[in-house]
Amino acid sequence: MEGMYVVCKEHVEIAIDRFVDDFEDAPDVVDLKETHFAAWNPPPTCEEKGCDKHGEFLIV
């Protein structure tokens, strides 16, 4: 999805920086462990290149 990143804990700050660069606005950080989406399944792994850790946070 456009303007959304799913990342591991390690890459949260990088994803926030990228979001601010791309959209010139501060993102919300959603903990995927505490939030459930009815119509959307987050990707299981971090979207950061070369990272295959579990995706824990949604940057949106």
Residues making contact with Zn ion (CB under 5 A):
8, 11, 46, 48, 51, 53
Min CB(38)–Zn ion separation in Å: 26
Q: Is 52 helix (H, G, I), strand (E, B) or coil?
A: coil
Min CB(47)–Zn ion separation in Å: 8
The answer to whether 56 and 9 have CB atoms below 8 angstroms apart is yes
Q: Considering beta carbons, is residue 20 or 54 the nearer one to Zn ion?
A: 54
Per the structure block, which two tokens stand in for 13?
């700050």
Min CB(51)–Zn ion separation in Å: 3
The CA distance from 23 to 8, in Å, is 21
